Amino acid sequence: MLHLLDKVQRRGAGLIAAKEKIEEAEGVIKKLTAPPYFPAVFRRIVTIRESEGPRAIVRLGANERVVGFGDGVESAILRRGDWVYLAHEQNVIVGLASAELGDTGETCDFQCKTADGRLLVKARDEYLVVCTTPALAEAELKPGALLLWDRNTEFASERVERPSESKLADDETPRETFDDVGGLGPQIEKVTRSLFIHFYHPRSPASSSFRRKDPSFCMGRRERERR
């Protein structure tokens, strides 16, 4: 009798362990098959039908759509420029997203603000009117400030620091001299003669026959290598 009870207990423990494994596998399957959410930018509240209540206009990529509000999402807490998550059908807001979703994009120069709080910016050779996120809307901006913005959503998200110096400039003074350049004797003589005449005798008649030289770059084999 005791042997039979022990056997039943072992089987019961095995069934409990098997049930836990099945529940764990079901959880993994549920995560793998769960529908995706889509990040979008909230623009404003609209009312299409009074019976349906308020709806939201959001920017999903380069497209706009009117969506509803899911359970637990209050329209009153949303501000223009807030990132939200849309359900897999892209027809309802299911939650708020992190503002870090809009931390990449292009840069533009701030020009001025419009009466309704939008921004007039210059991107390359274009003047554009874009919307702004809540954080940037409260910031004090001066003309010429460099802003981060997204061309698809047409929202400026933050101010970025302008580079202090150009990377195209060479910080080091070249150490090469004409002695390191070989095979360009006549050309070097003509360039140096033109430079020296304009430098030492700017009003000399001889200088008029030489066109003033801009910075030049001479390239050739080193003279010592030729020897």
* 45 part of a folded domain: yes
126 in the same domain as 143? yes
In a domain, 4, yes or no: no
Same domain, 198 and 220: yes
State the average pLDDT for the chain. 80
CATH at residue 64? 2.40.50.140
Q: pTM for this structure? A: 0.54
Q: Are 133 and 102 in contact (CB under 8 A)?
A: yes
Note the pLDDT tens digit of each residue in 125-179: 899 999 988 878 888 899 999 999 988 888 998 899 887 765 555 556 677 777 7
- Is 211 within the bounds of a domain? yes
Structural domains in the chain (count): 3
Domain that holds residue 191: 178-226
Domain-embedded: residue 83: yes
Q: Do both 85 and 122 map to the same domain?
A: no
| pLDDT tens sequence across 165-222 | 655 555 566 777 777 777 778 888 887 877 777 667 766 655 455 555 555 555 555 5
Cβ neighbors of 211 (< 8 A, separation 6 or more) are 194
Q: Say yes or no to pLDDT of 86 above 60.
A: yes
Per-residue pLDDT tens for 59-83? 998 889 999 998 888 888 899 889 9
Torsion on CA atoms 86, 90, 91, 95, rounded to nearest 10: -10
- Encoding tokens for residue 152? 């698809």
Q: What is the DSSP string of 183-219?
A: S-HHHHHHHHHHHHHHHH-TT-GGGGGSPPPPP----
Task: Please provide residue 4's backbone torsions phi and psi, each rounded to the nearest 5 degrees.
Answer: -65, -40
Q: What is the mean pLDDT of residues 102-123?
A: 90
The pLDDT value recorded for residue 226 is: 46
Last residue of a domain, one of 97, 125, 144: 97
Q: Is residue 29 part of a domain?
A: no
Do residues 70 and 87 touch, judged by C-beta distance below 8 A? yes
